[in-house]
Structure 1
Amino acid sequence: MQKLLKAPQVESKPSIISISKKTDHDNLHDQDMYLNAPFLFFFFSFLMPVKYFGHPRLNCGLKYCHNVVAFAVGEACIRLHLADELVCREITELFRSDFIRALQRSLLWPTEACALLVGPSCGNFDIYAPWNVTLPKVPKPPVTPPSILFLTDIHWDKEYKAGSAADCKDPLCCREDSRSPSWRRREAGHWGTYSKCDLPLRTVENLLENTARAGPWDWVYWTGDIPAHNVWSQTRKQQLSELTVISRLIHKHMGPNVTVYPAVGNHESTPANSFPPPFVHGNRSVAWLYDTMAEEWSAWLPEQALKTLRYGGFYTVEVQPGLRVVSLNMNYCARENFWLMVNSTDPANQLQWLVLILQASEDKGEKVHIIGHIPPGLCLGSWSWNYYHIVNRYESTIAGQFFGHTHLDEFQMFYDETTMARPLGVAFIAPSVTTYVNLNPGYRVYYVDGNYQGSSRLVLDHETYILNLTEANKSPGSALSPEPNPKWKLLYRATEAFGLSSLFPSDYDGLLRTFINDDRVFQKFWYLRHKGHVSEPCRETCKTGLLCFLRSGRYDELEQCDLFNGFGGNLAKAARKTLC
């Protein structure tokens, strides 16, 4: 028996068996298993007859042969280096009764038994072929990623009037006092108008009714700009009234189980864009606005968030375990905020506060979504540079950036500061609810990676919905009467529209390069950027400026457009002219 079971001595060679986190002992064991496959097959061939009637060649009865089997198994353990001799002998004695009983009841052939217990190196046994579990006939529920309703730039005009002049000399038309040029008369539509016009309340309510039916939403991001564009005639009382009306309408239609995370727009204050830093007190302070926001949004935000909201119009909240939202007050970076002439160095210490939040989230393994109104690429140069630097440092923590303000459907890219070549972030800029200027009303839905351990929380896809005003303002049965309850329709889904497998920064970087090389794809983007209502085409200079904007998540970065393949010349100069 000793001679029979002796393993052959050969040089070591790499194991063909792959096991994670193997030790040197594991590798030695795998090698011996592989090299001793013929021996193992013979070993099982020797055991199988014993289980029925003993072994005639060994001249042993069933009970005595069990002892022989136990001895043989112990020898195999030793020869295959499974353990030292003492452990092999004792563990064989401990397990032999169960092993022999299982062996007696088994229907497997030697090759099958060897393959089952040792692996494919000594036999063939497909454990999946003979049987399968029975699953219930109930279909598998769909795997649905969290959906985020995104609203921005509502711009409700309390004075909007259907039938009024849609073309006027003022910055805002479609109002009772709008005066049209004597040579032209175009009337405002019932649901909105393609012109310098904002929206009537009925359109905002129709939007909220439709989105409520399209839900339920996991949560809502709402990035500001509630009042209309009548910036020359606004009062604090009017601003607060409109803030209250819209906040309560959103709460009413979304219901108590959907949390809304708002951000402060530049039109919330009056004068517009006027947001004094916290060191300004008294009547010139903006506390009148922040305090009302805290009151109206208290159903959505915890007290700690309301505290920083009252202080500087920004806050942070844990949305779900593992995901935090940071709402920034982008008015502290806006060139139009003349209070920054007093001190533009990190107003309200907001960016330093952001760093603390991001560091704490990084330490805890949280992902962060940043929301705000004005895209960072349109901010003051120094503020924008610092924000870009923060995004670079915390690229593994920041899972999404969501903005509005431009009223258009676009984005801005962030790249590694070292080479400005590796894409590491995307700031999504969603289309406006308002029609201002010459647009369809619209809203956005984001689908993000789900609520599970280790989720990336990245944007997987997004959809843009619009209200086609040409259809909504004209009922099929009458050219004069509008649709009583118009439907908001899907304009496009990002992955499908541009043939993308995902919406990672590298995908958007590739899309920008496609825009350069394929003008048909760029013109499609131009159409979707305007929510399906394009007023004018985009040719060479326009295209150059827009591509620079899309690539520039930092205001002073436009010169980096020269790095783009296929461009040359005074790109930064042309882009600045286009943007400014």
Structure 2
Amino acid sequence: MKMANHSSFWFLIYFGCLASFSPSYSYHQTDLANSYFSSGQFTRLSPEIRDLTCLGCRTLVSGVADRINDGATVEEIEEAFILECVVLDLFPGDVCEGMVRLLGEQVVYVVNHTSFEPSDICGFVLGFDHCSGYTGLTNWTVDLPPGKPEPDHPEPQEPESPFRILHLSDLHVDLDYAEGAAVNCDYPLCCREAYGMAQPGEEAAGPWGGRGHCDIPAHTLDHLLGQAKEIVQPHMVYVTGDLPPHDVWDQTRDSNMAALNLTTSLLYKHFPDIPVLAALGNHEAVPVNSYPVPSVYEDGWDITWLYENLAEKWSYWLPDEVLPDVLQGGFYVVSPYPGLRVISVNMNYCGTGNFFLLMDNVDPVDEMKWLVYQLTEAENMGDKVHILGHIPSGDTCDKTWSHVFNSVVTRFESTIRGLFFGHTHHDEWEVMYDVDDATRPVGIQFITPSATTYSYAHYKSPSFRVYTTDGGYDQATWAVIDHTTYSMNLTEANANGLEPIYQERYSAVEAYGVTGLSPASIDNLVTNMATDDALFQTYLRHRFTYAEEPSEVSECDTDCRKSTLCTLVTADSSDDRPCQRIKDIINGNE
């Protein structure tokens, strides 16, 4: 999930520099800290604060490096940051201590061993262009085969018996959820007895979930899966990552595996006879986002424990021959139906919350080389491909990795029929463009809303998507014809004491008046949103799966509109041209 995307160790550096360089920000540091936990992005800050943040970050990273060189121990450095967090009153002391203890040794190791300068480290982690000259980590490419076929993006009519795919993401089941606990608390995650029960007059966690920064109880996930099975009657299920809750300061391997085990068991309970294909989220790792690269394995950092557990659980639905790929890097390819290959990629080797990329960002586990091989095989056999991942390749993905991924999709655009992601918790897409022609769309990353209610920006309800596809028969195109979102009304469900009902929120084709969901159609839709107020408001209404139907959509001014639509066209974080095109259209309409 996008929330808490960057390590909280760097988040401490960020707020430390605000306090150091501008005391005027102190009054709202806690609000900013909570916003950080929910968004994981610094890229929307004003230029002035971005410059301040970059300067402060570089100063503090250099300070950490100096302390290491002066012989300070990891524990001494950790104590300094814990004290800073407590003094600034950013979070309760146990959150400060837990997060820094989990990440401290890792961050000190990376700062001590990386070849990158403080400006590069800060530019990468904060996501700032030109942070004292930062333009990206090491550039690299992947070899692509010649002989690209003519672009082919069909918009088939709905077949007599459409093939339905259920898409779930960001389940974040909380085994410690407590009905009656406070929805609003001092912790980044609430609705737990340990963090306070609701007092008279305070909003309490309901039987089916809590509004705000709460994850969902196990019985809500169980019920959601049962409803999805009954409503959708899917032929296949995609699960694009993030199973553990948001208690990232207090997680262990055992606690994360408990969430994985429970979720897998529930999926098997409800869908024992159809393929359930998953991708790996950033929250599965402990600490969050931490996916070591092979170059640090010899120093004791590894992720084997997670890949071994995934291989065991995913073996319910995967053939034995693909498990070595899971063990190598958390990715795999499988052919669940004739003519279709589903490729699950591990996007954590692009995520800017993964510090280990500062040790080696050049295709660390040869995943992109492997992906090109698999797509070449599919192209040669005439098969079509769906790609699953967690983190979309946009603004929280390493620039070089993102560009390479987009170049691969550009080369194989006629083979890839859909890309399916999560992470943002929102109901949205990212349009991918030809790396040599930023005006020509080549792919769509379909991003499903989260099952969890966890959010700071908007109260939301558990949700899922279903794709109507042209599949399941000989010569099928496997193209996505439409997608439909279903949500419960969380407020109503908690109030009436009955089991919630998942209702259809909208069909993309009907709501947006498009003929299909090809790359060209979605590109044209986003372009129209730049000038069509009613269409843009419709999108905003659907983007957030509200806890109750809002009387009106939140205000979104011109800058908000630019930022929102730029997100939809920035699938290559190294290329600002599609975003600039949208901004130019909006500016011309003012």
Q: How does 1:458-477 map to 2 (within 5 A)?
A: 458-475=479-496
Rounded Cα–Cα distance in structure 2 between residues aligned with 1:183 and 1:393: 60
Among 487, 503, 506, the residue aligned to 1:489: 503
Among 356, 359, 384, the residue aligned to 2:402: 384
How many angstroms does 1:525 deviate by? Answer: 0.6
Residue 335 of structure 1 aligns with which residue? 352
Among 366, 369, 377, the residue aligned to 1:349: 366
Do residues 266 (structure 1) and 282 (structure 2) align? Answer: yes
Rounded Cα–Cα distance in structure 2 between residues aligned with 1:502 and 1:514: 15
Q: Which string of whole-angstrom CA distances, capped at 9 and with x for unpartnered residues, describes residues 85-116 of structure 1? A: xxxxxxxxxxxxxxxxxxxxxxxxxxxxxxxx
Rounded Cα–Cα distance in structure 2 between residues aligned with 1:509 and 1:314: 29
How many angstroms does 1:510 deviate by? Answer: 1.4
Residue 18 of structure 1 aligns with which residue? none
Among 533, 538, 543, the residue aligned to 2:556: 538
Do residues 313 (structure 1) and 330 (structure 2) align? Answer: yes
How many angstroms does 1:181 deviate by? Answer: 10
Among 248, 252, 264, the residue aligned to 1:231: 248
Q: Which has the higher contact order (CA 8 A, sep 6+)?
A: 2
Rounded Cα–Cα distance in structure 2 between residues aligned with 1:568 and 1:497: 26
Among 410, 413, 424, the residue aligned to 1:395: 413
Among 159, 179, 187, the residue aligned to 1:170: 187
Residue 576 of structure 1 aligns with which residue? none
How many angstroms does 1:452 deviate by? Answer: 3.0
How many angstroms does 1:222 deviate by? Answer: 0.5
Rounded Cα–Cα distance in structure 2 between residues aligned with 1:425 and 1:441: 27
Q: Aligned partner of 1:467: which letter?
A: M
Do residues 202 (structure 1) and 219 (structure 2) align? Answer: yes
Tell me, yes or no, if the aligned pair for 1:401 and 1:426 is still in contact at 8 Å. yes
| Secondary structure at the counterpart of residue 443 of structure 1 | strand
TM-score w.r.t. the length of structure 1 is 0.70
Tell me, yes or no, if the aligned pair for 2:295 and 2:359 is still in contact at 8 Å. no
Q: Which string of whole-angstrom CA distances, capped at 9 and with x for unpartnered residues, describes residues 25-60 of structure 1? A: xxxxxxxxxxxxxxxxxxxxxxxxxxxxxxxxxxxx
Distance 1:344-1:403 versus aligned 2 partners, 3 A rule: same
Among 265, 275, 292, the residue aligned to 1:276: 292
| Secondary structure at the counterpart of residue 168 of structure 1 | coil
Rounded Cα–Cα distance in structure 1 between residues aligned with 2:469 and 2:421: 16
Among 288, 301, 308, the residue aligned to 2:305: 288
Residue 456 of structure 1 aligns with which residue? 477
Residue 461 of structure 2 aligns with which residue? 440
| Secondary structure at the counterpart of residue 474 of structure 1 | helix
Distance 1:505-1:560 versus aligned 2 partners, 3 A rule: closer
Do residues 374 (structure 1) and 391 (structure 2) align? Answer: yes
How many angstroms does 1:180 deviate by? Answer: 8.1
Point out where structure 2 has 5 or more consecutive residues left out of the alignment: 1-157
How large is the Cα RMSD of the aligned pairs?
2.1
| Secondary structure at the counterpart of residue 556 of structure 1 | coil
Rounded Cα–Cα distance in structure 2 between residues aligned with 1:163 and 1:182: 9
Q: How does 1:8-407 map to 2 (within 5 A)?
A: 143-179=160-196, 185-255=202-272, 257-281=273-297, 284-377=301-394, 378-407=396-425
Distance 1:220-1:504 versus aligned 2 partners, 3 A rule: same
Tell me, yes or no, if the aligned pair for 1:149 and 1:444 is still in contact at 8 Å. yes
Q: Aligned partner of 2:312: which letter?
A: E
How many angstroms does 1:557 deviate by? Answer: 2.0
Rounded Cα–Cα distance in structure 2 between residues aligned with 1:261 and 1:182: 43
Q: Aligned partner of 1:520: which letter?
A: A
| Secondary structure at the counterpart of residue 555 of structure 1 | coil
Do residues 502 (structure 1) and 516 (structure 2) align? Answer: yes
Rounded Cα–Cα distance in structure 2 between residues aligned with 1:415 and 1:342: 29
Q: Aligned partner of 2:290: which letter?
A: S
| Secondary structure at the counterpart of residue 366 of structure 2 | helix
Q: Aligned partner of 2:562: which letter?
A: T
How many angstroms does 1:562 deviate by? Answer: 2.3
How many angstroms does 1:561 deviate by? Answer: 2.2
Tell me, yes or no, if the aligned pair for 1:278 and 1:311 is still in contact at 8 Å. no
Q: Aligned partner of 2:236: which letter?
A: W
Q: Aligned partner of 1:329: which letter?
A: N
Do residues 550 (structure 1) and 568 (structure 2) align? Answer: yes
Tell me, yes or no, if the aligned pair for 1:277 and 1:312 is still in contact at 8 Å. no
Residue 112 of structure 1 aligns with which residue? none
Tell me, yes or no, if the aligned pair for 1:168 and 1:181 is still in contact at 8 Å. no
How many angstroms does 1:451 deviate by? Answer: 2.6
Residue 63 of structure 1 aligns with which residue? none
Rounded Cα–Cα distance in structure 1 between residues aligned with 2:572 and 2:508: 24
Q: Which string of whole-angstrom CA distances, capped at 9 and with x for unpartnered residues, describes residues 196-227 of structure 1? A: 11001110011111122224321110111011
Q: Aligned partner of 2:289: which letter?
A: N
| Secondary structure at the counterpart of residue 246 of structure 2 | coil
Residue 85 of structure 2 aligns with which residue? none
Rounded Cα–Cα distance in structure 1 between residues aligned with 2:335 and 2:389: 16
| Secondary structure at the counterpart of residue 586 of structure 2 | coil
Query: Moved runs in structure 1, 4+ residues, more than 3 A?
Result: 179-184, 278-283, 532-536
Do residues 512 (structure 1) and 526 (structure 2) align? Answer: yes
Among 522, 545, 558, the residue aligned to 2:536: 522
Q: Aligned partner of 1:370: which letter?
A: I
Deviates more, 1:559-568 or 1:387-396: 559-568
Rounded Cα–Cα distance in structure 1 between residues aligned with 2:568 and 2:335: 30
TM-score w.r.t. the length of structure 2 is 0.69
Q: Which string of whole-angstrom CA distances, capped at 9 and with x for unpartnered residues, describes residues 128-166 of structure 1? A: xxxxxxxxxxxxx98121100111000011111111111
Tell me, yes or no, if the aligned pair for 1:400 and 1:458 is still in contact at 8 Å. yes
Rounded Cα–Cα distance in structure 1 between residues aligned with 2:174 and 2:355: 25
Q: Which string of whole-angstrom CA distances, capped at 9 and with x for unpartnered residues, describes residues 240-276 of structure 1? A: 1211111011001112x21100111100111011111
How many angstroms does 1:550 deviate by? Answer: 0.3
Rounded Cα–Cα distance in structure 2 between residues aligned with 1:524 and 1:402: 22
How many angstroms does 1:537 deviate by? Answer: 2.6
Q: Aligned partner of 1:512: which letter?
A: V
Tell me, yes or no, if the aligned pair for 1:444 and 1:462 is still in contact at 8 Å. yes
| Secondary structure at the counterpart of residue 576 of structure 2 | helix
How many angstroms does 1:358 deviate by? Answer: 0.6
How many angstroms does 1:418 deviate by? Answer: 2.7
| Secondary structure at the counterpart of residue 288 of structure 1 | helix
Q: Aligned partner of 1:276: which letter?
A: P
